[in-house]
């Protein structure tokens, strides 16, 4: 059953001067059926790194477990975190080695290792670094917001609001995206920091958006 659960999904990642912001909604679908309303699609994989998942839930969860284990082992052995480009390459290699029986996923890997990094990684192992990216069926609606509002010099607080606007736009038009929004920031000082649900609800109210 788990292999059939498929996230239509909206995920977003972007970088600003000294931070990475990553966000998702929570709806999990199986064709046109809403299989779960509170799916976890945003995962911490190291003290300063995170992943978002889109695709088959079983495949994505296995990859999250692989990455958590590998990055923790690297940190324990070397006493410092794996660089984000190395983490993206590791995930890319895992996916590429299975391309003839692929993991059906589309992933974002982001983090801070002296500066912010964000990678989009596809099912065949292609990894592309960018300043902002969105995946899943709701991504076209998110890009409409990102293209018009994003600036690399924008403040962290404004970038969080922009992610909320983008995901909300996707939820309004994409039937496979819905539910509560999860957002995390990654910075040098705080590492991975999930924004509390009540703070996100307050921002949604302030922006006069519909949940």
Determine phi and psi for 100, rounding to 5 degrees.
Answer: -85, -15
pLDDT digits (tens, 9 = 90+) for 55-85: 999 999 999 999 999 999 999 999 999 999 9
Q: Answer whether residue 2 shows pLDDT above 60.
A: no
* Structure token digits, residue 101: 């029986």
Q: Report the pLDDT value the prediction gives residue 3, as an integer from 0 to 100.
A: 42
9 an active-site residue? yes
- 171 vs 138: CA distance, rounded Å: 7
Select from 90, 182, 74 the least CA-distant residue to 127: 90
Residue 6 pLDDT level (bands cut at 50, 70, 90): very low
Q: Report the pLDDT value the prediction gives residue 96, as an integer from 0 to 100.
A: 95
Q: pTM for the whole thing? A: 0.94
Return the DSSP state at 38.
S
Average pLDDT in the chain: 94
- 146 vs 157: CA distance, rounded Å: 15
3-state SS assignment for residue 208: coil
* Structure token digits, residue 9: 């999904």
Residue 202 pLDDT level (bands cut at 50, 70, 90): very high
Q: In which region does residue 104 sit, left (phi positive, over 0), alpha (psi from -120 to 50) or beta (all else)?
A: beta
Q: Report the pLDDT value the prediction gives residue 5, as an integer from 0 to 100.
A: 41
pLDDT digits (tens, 9 = 90+) for 134-179: 999 999 999 999 999 999 999 999 999 999 999 999 999 999 999 9
How would DSSP label each residue in 78-142?
HSSPPPHHHHHHHHHHHHHTTTTS---EEEEEEEESSSEEEEEE-TT--EEE-SEEEESTTHHHH
Q: Report the pLDDT value the prediction gives residue 1, as an integer from 0 to 100.
A: 35
Q: Which member of 9, 11, 15, 135 is catalytic?
A: 9
Please, what is the Cα angle at 47 between 99 and 130, to 5 degrees?
A: 50
The ranges assigned to domains in the chain are 2-206
CATH code at 2-206: 3.60.20.10
Q: Answer whether residue 4 shows pLDDT above 50.
A: no
Only one residue has tokens 């958006």, namely 209
């Amino acid at each position: 059953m788990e292999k059939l659960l498929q996230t239509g999904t909206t995920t977003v990642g972007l970088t600003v001067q000294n931070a990475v912001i990553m966000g998702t909604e929570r709806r999990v679908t199986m064709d046109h059926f809403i299989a779960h309303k509170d799916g976890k699609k945003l995962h911490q994989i190291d003290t300063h790194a995170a992943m978002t998942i889109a695709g088959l839930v079983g495949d994505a969860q296995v990859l999250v477990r692989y990455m958590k284990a590998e990055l923790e082992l690297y940190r324990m052995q070397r006493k410092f975190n794996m660089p984000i480009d190395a983490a993206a390459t590791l995930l890319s290699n895992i996916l590429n080695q299975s391309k003839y029986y692929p993991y059906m996923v589309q992933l974002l890997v982001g983090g801070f290792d002296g500066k912010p990094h964000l990678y989009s990684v596809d099912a065949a192992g292609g990894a592309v670094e960018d300043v902002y990216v969105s995946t899943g069926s709701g991504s076209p609606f998110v890009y409409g917001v990102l293209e018009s509002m994003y600036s690399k010099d924008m403040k962290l607080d404004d970038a969080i609001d922009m992610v909320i606007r983008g995901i909300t736009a996707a939820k309004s038009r994409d039937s496979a995206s819905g539910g509560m929004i999860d957002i995390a920031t990654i910075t040098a000082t705080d590492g991975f920091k999930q924004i509390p649900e009540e703070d996100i609800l307050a921002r949604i109210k302030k922006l006069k958006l519909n949940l």
